[in-house]
Amino acid sequence: MENSNSYISGIGSYLPSQMLTNKDLEKMVDTTDEWIVSRTGIKKRYISAKEEATSDLATKASLSAIEDAGISPNEINMIIVATFTPDMMLPSTATRVQKNIGANNASAFDISAACSGFIYGLSIAHQFIINGTMKNVLVIGAETITKYVDWSDRNTSVLFGDGAGAVVVSQNSNGAKILGFNLGANGNPPREWLMLAGGGSVNRDENILKGKKNFITMNGKEIFKFGVNILPATITTVVKKYGLTNEDIDLVIPHQANRRIIEAAAVILNIPIQKFYINIDRYANTSAASIPIAMFDARKENILNKGDIIVLAGFGAGLTWGSMLIKY
């Protein structure tokens, strides 16, 4: 089998129609627009409708990415959905997307790596393309987190939003290529640092509702510290691994969890903050969807351009992290 290059051939995104501003939240929980903006950078977020499933958002983002790649759904060989808010435990969200978009020749599965899920998914796609077994892999980050938010908990309810982003990873191109990645995990810290316990094998009974286990809970301070340390670490690792320096980087597209985490990472890395794409103000934290949505927006705004050397970097529950070095 021949070795091939993999590259990003299409990008798409989709946000639900209903929007919730910080001012709206002021009426729901003890918070203020001023606190949310100054502590996180978030101004608004999108909320999926009651009947809207994660696969619905993923389907729309996928169709936009496939159109952008200039291929037909039948040419997709594999569909990977990164999410911690799947439609259901079984079957996978990815098989629903396969049906919805008519990707009749694709295998399909979900992966669970929280906010790092999109990077993990991209690394899987990269393997199948460079070893020559596949031509087009669809990687989607899609979440309906607001369905798992306790709106009375101000520690979490102000932070999250819903959305989906997707890319098509394809074989060969004129110079554009995925250069490589860094992935990591550390399961030692308490799961309580960032957890959605209900529905899994540990919490299956009446305790789910009684103990509010069906809602996301977080130790914001610990996750904040983790993010500030791991973002620069994983970016430095991937950049060095492929013989580049921080000066070679045109654009960093980080997971959008908190503007202050991104700013702190920029200082540690000594990369100007202007080289970091930030859109958390519009969408809040959409977990696995945040990086592909940011890629879509950055390209629309002509901030992401052909030939750019970019780094994608994420971190999240688990703990997990990952970065991806790309010549776009």
Q: Which of residues 15, 79, 115, 278 is near ligand UT7 by CB under 6 A?
A: 115
Stretch that binds ligand UT7, among 196-204, 205-213, 221-229, 239-247 (CB under 6 A): 221-229
**Nearer to ligand UT7 (CB atom), residue 40 or residue 146:** 40
**Greatest distance between any 2 Cα atoms in the chain:** 60
Burial 82-114 (b: 16+ CB within 10 A, else e): bbbbbbeeeebbbbbbbebbebeebbbbbbebb
Alpha helix segments (H runs only) across 131-242: 154-157, 207-210, 220-241
Q: Which of residues 109, 193, 224, 242 is near ligand UT7 by CB under 6 A?
A: 224
Q: Which of residues 106, 149, 158, 176 is near ligand UT7 by CB under 6 A?
A: 158
Is 126 assigned a catalytic role? no
**Nearer to ligand UT7 (CB atom), residue 223 or residue 295:** 223
Active-site residue among 5, 115, 126, 182? 115
Q: Are 266 and 290 within 8 A, CB to CB?
A: no
Distance between CA atoms of 212 and 218, rounded to whole angstroms? 13
Identify the bridge partners of residue 108 per DSSP, sorted by sequence position. Answer: 79
The burial of 244, by beta-carbon neighbours within 10 Å (0-12 exposed, 13-18 middle, 19 or more buried), is given as middle
Identify the bridge partners of residue 320 per DSSP, sorted by sequence position. Answer: 185, 316
Please provide residue 261's backbone torsions phi and psi, each rounded to the nearest 5 degrees: -65, -45
Residue 77, CA distances (Å) to 53, 106, 168, 171, 249 in order: 24, 4, 10, 12, 31
SS3 262: helix
Size of residue set near ligand UT7 by CB under 6 A: 19
List the 107-111 sheet strands across, edge first: 6-14, 163-171, 136-143, 78-82, 107-111
Stretch that binds ligand UT7, among 14-22, 32-40, 104-112, 132-140 (CB under 6 A): 32-40
Please provide residue 173's backbone torsions phi and psi, each rounded to the nearest 5 degrees: 180, -175
Q: Minimum distance between the CB of residue 220 and ligand UT7, rounded to whole angstroms?
A: 3
**Nearer to ligand UT7 (CB atom), residue 26 or residue 308:** 26
The reply on whether position 254 binds ligand UT7 by CB under 6 A is no
Q: Minimum distance between the CB of residue 261 and ligand UT7, rounded to whole angstroms?
A: 6
Stretch that binds ligand UT7, among 7-15, 31-39, 198-206, 236-244 (CB under 6 A): 31-39
Q: Which tokens sit at 270?
A: 């000594």
**Nearer to ligand UT7 (CB atom), residue 118 or residue 128:** 118
The reply on whether position 258 binds ligand UT7 by CB under 6 A is yes
Distance between CA atoms of 45 and 32, rounded to whole angstroms? 15
Binding track, positions 264-303, relative to ligand UT7; x by CB under 6 A? ---------------------x-x----------------
Q: Which of residues 4, 6, 22, 40 is near ligand UT7 by CB under 6 A?
A: 40
Distance between CA atoms of 216 and 207, rounded to whole angstroms? 15
Q: Which of residues 178, 257, 265, 310 is near ligand UT7 by CB under 6 A?
A: 257
Stretch that binds ligand UT7, among 78-86, 98-106, 154-162, 240-248 (CB under 6 A): 154-162
Stretch that binds ligand UT7, among 14-22, 130-138, 217-225, 304-312 (CB under 6 A): 217-225
Please provide residue 100's backbone torsions phi and psi, each rounded to the nearest 5 degrees: -60, -40
The reply on whether position 182 binds ligand UT7 by CB under 6 A is no
Active-site residue among 5, 22, 258, 285? 285
Is 285 assigned a catalytic role? yes
Peptide bond into 319 cis (omega under 30): yes
Q: Which of residues 223, 253, 262, 295 is near ligand UT7 by CB under 6 A?
A: 223
Binding site for ligand UT7 (CB under 6 A): 31, 35, 39-40, 115, 154-155, 158, 194, 220-221, 223-224, 227, 257-258, 285, 287, 316
Active site residues per annotation: 115, 255, 285
